[in-house]
A and B are shown apart, each in its own frame.
Chain A
Amino acid sequence: MTLGRASRGARTALRAVSFLVPADRRREWLEEWGAELASLEQARTTGRAREYPGVAWFVAGALPHAVWIRTEGWTMESVAQDVRYAARVLRRAPGFTAVAALTLALGIGANAAIFSLVNGLMLRPPAGIARPEHIVLLGRSYDSAPRWDSWSWPAIRLIAGEARAFSGVAAYSGGEFVLGRGDDVEPVAGHWVNGEYFGVLGVRPALGRLLGPGDAVAPGAHAVVVLSQALWLRRFGGDPGVVGRTLAVGSQPYEIVGVAPEGFTGPDALGAPPEMWVSAMQRTLGDGALPFDEWGASWLYAFARLREGVTYEQAVAAMDAASLQLRAASDRNEDVRVVLAPGIGLAPEERERSRGASLLLGAIAVLVLLLTCANVGNLFLTRATARATEVGVRKALGASRGRLTRQLVTEGMVLAAAATMLSVPLVFGGSGILSMLFPVPVAVSLAPDLRVYLFLGAVGLAAGLLSGTAPAWTAARRDVARTLREGGTTGGASRTRLRDTLVVGQLAISLGLVSGAALLGRSVLNAWSADPGFDPDGMVVGSINLRSTGRYDPAAAVAFQDRLLAGLEGLPGVAAVALANQAPMLGNHTRSSVNPAERPEGPESGIEAEYIVVTPGYFETLGIPLLRGRTFGPAAAEPEPVVVVNDALARLFWPGQDPLGRELVRRGVTFRVVGVVADVQMRTLRDRGRPGVYYAYHQEPQTLLVAHLRTTGPTPTAAEALRRAVASVDPEVPVTGITDLREGLARSLAETRTLSLLVTTFAGLALVISLVGLYGLISHGVTQRSREMGIRVALGAASGTLARLVMARALALAVLGTALGLGVAVALGIALRGLLYGVGPASPGVLGPVSALLLGAALLAAWIPARRAARVDVMVSLRD
């Protein structure tokens, strides 16, 4: 069955390629390849398949063969002659050439810019890593889909000791560090790393040394730091004497031991690039505990290098033993299985997501390129009509059809070559803009490399062939005698049909893209006006990190919060203030397992509920409505453990009953429910109604805090007030990421917003190009038929009749294009479904106005030439 489909596909491909072979040798060529293919299919069914190549790979060889035959007789002189002639022809029509080259450049550049994104993120491993093909990611599975998340320190130790397949197992954890003291404080992203991290990556230092096994021996004993090239240049001006100097990291002095090589930004393609590296042994947990014996504390991502001579398959098999050891070591590892994924840069699920997004963008870019090729092809066709006499003369003088085709295709190629060169700056700028627009920070450089330039060349070649072939095809087929007799003025029915088809296709693609842009734009607007369950306007948030100082135990953390709240209340411009462990929509969110007290603790009865720790006044500050009971009082008034739950949790745990006074259990502690609040959207705009539990700040002390300020003035003023208030309590505590919650709402749809911007750009481009195409077609038709129209006027036709005649044709094309475009629009809408918010993929409220817009614009584009038709001057048109 599959063989049948493969061979049918192969035969179709052969027939398509055969058109490259000169007509007189085509039959013979097809017969030979057909016989070879039949022999291959026979051979592959006889069980000797191993000795033979795959059908697809084999048939792919037909293309170079056909190209070889086609170009066999070409001499350098004849090719050069064609190119010179093409350049002359194009120079003689500078307006045409400029428009055609620019539109093609946009189409080609868009494709290459998107490819450079794919190249940087997915094809190219992060820079500075030696032989990245030997690196594997370590994930785990519990008889379900593998998870590519973090491991505990003892687990990494065990796998490293057990797995002979690896030459080393690297582990790291991203962190935010605070450098310097006083006015010089700067938050910097970095990695906590184990002793094998740099060795496994195969990175060599630019200066001094990197961290090795000797830097991960005893907890807290390795106050050394490696700087990235960027940090070294920014903070130390690239001073070569930096090694051995002291740098304040958090509250502790660290010795700078080395500088990482240029371009090295860690093993991840996405996320903020690390700018410094510190031994993981320096890490403590939130309450000051050490995580190095804790099987339950998963905080390290892991990857490993395959030992010399070990294959990936062998390593996968070797993980069975490691998995058994892990299960035996701790009951927390029940059913765990170590799984591997080849490669580095993106974790498999990130790879999936990136592939989806880039396929979508790639498809849109290809549509735009097809549209520009159709447009340029159409321009060529228009000119071919004007040049029909020239072509006819050359044919009559004995030029072969093949030679003429070659000449016209060469013109397309020369034009495409110019366009490709014009698109190079577009690719550079485009890839930079794309990395800025990307919804998450991009760690790696997206700068074009050789692969991008090869891709650019290939796209340029394809564009040249596509836009040059159609006119060549029709021009070469034309009857010499008729062309010369008619003075080259008539187009011929087949060519008009081709031109109509191209314009209809352009309109259809434009409608699809414009409606895709409208759907995404609508989603972003919906997100802005969505009701998230709290009042985001005038809400300013900022992160406060007590952990980085290393001085806060639970009691001190509570005292800090009390002092900070007292300092912030009553400040001008601040109407209300509260602290929590997380802000809605922004940053990290935590969930924690809870279950109702009346049902015993166990995997069946409990659920993972949002874990939100708040100070009194939180609900009032955010404007979250209280549905029943009360909110938290001051710490002194709440001696026993109490919680406020949201509506979703109340309905889940106690459907149809009064939740007040009920009890729920978290980690063995029983909390009494004192209030129920309305649901809010905690993580993204899409997940309203997740169960959540609010805890009192003094009962679950936190060291990572988010301040929430209800402000009446501008954001920067509130930001300054917050910074000053924190500094007056403890000058070493950093405040970062101060932002407006409105902004946070929009950011939760960042992917949609980015794509919306890109698709809108493409759609605008497509719309303009296709309208220009329609205008050109109708306008050209009027010019062509001016003689006929003159006769009609002379015979008494009213000028309105002529305009209607022209408009009727335009309307027919526009309606057909719109109808087809609706199909494209719905298909694109379905592809975009995951990114839409509050609007369906085939929403009539979007498709209707967009279709009307396209029809209106199309008719407007046709109206200008139609008016010209109405004013046709009998004498002039008949005389010409």
Chain B
Amino acid sequence: MPRPLGFTTLRILAAIRDGSAYGLDIVASTGLASGTVYPALGRLKKGGLVSSRWEDQRQAEREGRPRRRYYALTAEGARALVEGTSRTADVLAVLSPGSAGAVR
């Protein structure tokens, strides 16, 4: 049984799902430190939750910059994100006031 995904990892996966495709984009949209995002991407790739591909050289040249490495969710990554999100939602529900778990 693999360890459940942490909150930070879920944010990165969600950022990729929502269209952030390369490291800087994810850093900017999540507000996480670059020193957190890049190693996390490496781990996710190793775990098969994201895949990466190099941008087309001609596309990059048209935009006047070096080619980027783009990340995308794999099927497994998408599934892990859904699972993780619903588990997080459960946790939040327990913690929020007015729920059964709240202290009266």
Name A's B-contacting residues (CB within 8 A): 31-32, 34-36, 38-40, 42-43, 51-53, 57-65, 68-69, 72
Q: Is there a chain A Cβ closer than 8 Å to B33's Cβ?
A: yes
Contact with A along B19-39 (1 / 0, CB 8 A): 000111101100001111111
**B24 A61 Cβ-Cβ under 8 A:** no
Contact with A along B74-104 (1 / 0, CB 8 A): 0000000000000000000000000000000
**A35 B37 Cβ-Cβ under 8 A:** no
**B66 A68 Cβ-Cβ under 8 A:** no
Name B25's closest neighbour in chain A (CB-CB): A39
Q: Is there a chain A Cβ closer than 8 Å to B48's Cβ?
A: no
A-B contact pairs, 17 of them (CB 8 A): A31-B69, A32-B23, A35-B22, A35-B68, A35-B69, A42-B65, A43-B28, A52-B28, A53-B27, A53-B28, A53-B34, A57-B33, A58-B27, A61-B35, A64-B36, A68-B42, A72-B42
**B42 A61 Cβ-Cβ under 8 A:** no
Residue from B36, B60, B68 having most chain A Cβ neighbours under 10 A: B68
Residue from A36, A43, A51 having most chain B Cβ neighbours under 10 A: A36
Quick one: given A40-B24, A58-B24, are A35 and B36 in contact (CB under 8 Å)? no
Is chain B's binding surface mostly helix, strand, loop or mixed? helix
Number of chain B residues close to chain A: CB under 8 A: 22
Contacts of A36 in B (CB 8 A): 22-24, 68
CA distance A59 to B38 in the complex (A): 11
Name A63's closest neighbour in chain B (CB-CB): B35
**A31 B34 Cβ-Cβ under 8 A:** no
Choose one: A38, A59, A64; the contact of B65 (CB below 8 Å): A38
CA distance A65 to B36 in the complex (A): 8
Choose one: B35, B42, B65; the contact of A39 (CB below 8 Å): B65
Contacts of B27 in A (CB 8 A): 52-53, 58, 61
Q: Is there a chain A Cβ closer than 8 Å to B46's Cβ?
A: yes
**B65 A61 Cβ-Cβ under 8 A:** no
**B38 A35 Cβ-Cβ under 8 A:** no
Contacts of A39 in B (CB 8 A): 22, 24-25, 65, 68
Contacts of A53 in B (CB 8 A): 27-28, 33-34
**B68 A69 Cβ-Cβ under 8 A:** no
Contacts of A62 in B (CB 8 A): 34-35, 38
Q: How far is the CB of B22 from chain A (nearest CB, A)?
A: 7
Within 8 A of A (CB), among B52-69: 60, 65-69
Quick one: given A43-B28, A72-B46, are A61 and B33 in contact (CB under 8 Å)? yes
CA distance A62 to B39 in the complex (A): 9
**A58 B34 Cβ-Cβ under 8 A:** yes
CA distance A34 to B68 in the complex (A): 9
**B24 A65 Cβ-Cβ under 8 A:** no
CA distance A43 to B34 in the complex (A): 16
CA distance A51 to B60 in the complex (A): 22
CA distance A64 to B42 in the complex (A): 11
Contacts of A64 in B (CB 8 A): 35-36, 38-39
**B66 A31 Cβ-Cβ under 8 A:** yes
CA distance A582 to B60 in the complex (A): 78
Contacts of A63 in B (CB 8 A): 35
CA distance A38 to B66 in the complex (A): 7
**A60 B68 Cβ-Cβ under 8 A:** no
CA distance A32 to B41 in the complex (A): 12
Residue from B24, B25, B42 having most chain A Cβ neighbours under 10 A: B24
**A60 B66 Cβ-Cβ under 8 A:** no
**A69 B42 Cβ-Cβ under 8 A:** yes
CA distance A60 to B37 in the complex (A): 12
Contacts of B34 in A (CB 8 A): 53, 57-62, 65
Name A52's closest neighbour in chain B (CB-CB): B28
Q: How far is the CB of A51 from chain B (nearest CB, A)?
A: 5
Choose one: A42, A43, A57, A68; the contact of B39 (CB below 8 Å): A68
Q: How far is the CB of A49 from chain B (nearest CB, A)?
A: 11
CA distance A64 to B33 in the complex (A): 11
Given contacts A51-B28, A52-B28, 8 further A-B contacts (CB under 8 A): A32-B68, A35-B22, A36-B68, A38-B65, A59-B34, A65-B42, A68-B43, A69-B42
Q: How far is the CB of A14 from chain B (nearest CB, A)?
A: 12
Quick one: given A61-B35, A68-B42, A72-B46, are A32 and B65 in contact (CB under 8 Å)? no
Q: How far is the CB of B57 from chain A (nearest CB, A)?
A: 11
CA distance A40 to B68 in the complex (A): 12
Q: How far is the CB of B37 from chain A (nearest CB, A)?
A: 7
CA distance A34 to B67 in the complex (A): 9
Contacts of A43 in B (CB 8 A): 24, 28
* Top 4 A-B pairs, shortest CB-CB distance: A61-B34, A61-B35, A65-B38, A68-B39
Contacts of B46 in A (CB 8 A): 72
Quick one: given A35-B66, A38-B66, are A60 and B42 in contact (CB under 8 Å)? no
**A65 B28 Cβ-Cβ under 8 A:** no
Contacts of A34 in B (CB 8 A): 66
Q: How far is the CB of A7 from chain B (nearest CB, A)?
A: 13
Contacts of B43 in A (CB 8 A): 68
Contacts of B36 in A (CB 8 A): 61, 64
Q: How far is the CB of A468 from chain B (nearest CB, A)?
A: 24
Contacts of B35 in A (CB 8 A): 60-65
Contacts of B68 in A (CB 8 A): 32, 35-36, 39
Contacts of B28 in A (CB 8 A): 43, 51-53
Contacts of A69 in B (CB 8 A): 42
Residue from A42, A60, A61 having most chain B Cβ neighbours under 10 A: A61
Contacts of A51 in B (CB 8 A): 28
CA distance A387 to B24 in the complex (A): 46
Q: How far is the CB of B61 from chain A (nearest CB, A)?
A: 12
Name A67's closest neighbour in chain B (CB-CB): B39
Contacts of B23 in A (CB 8 A): 32, 36
Name B69's closest neighbour in chain A (CB-CB): A32
CA distance A61 to B68 in the complex (A): 17
Name B66's closest neighbour in chain A (CB-CB): A35
Contacts of B24 in A (CB 8 A): 36, 39-40, 43, 52, 58
Q: How far is the CB of A13 from chain B (nearest CB, A)?
A: 13
Name B42's closest neighbour in chain A (CB-CB): A68
Q: How far is the CB of A843 from chain B (nearest CB, A)?
A: 48
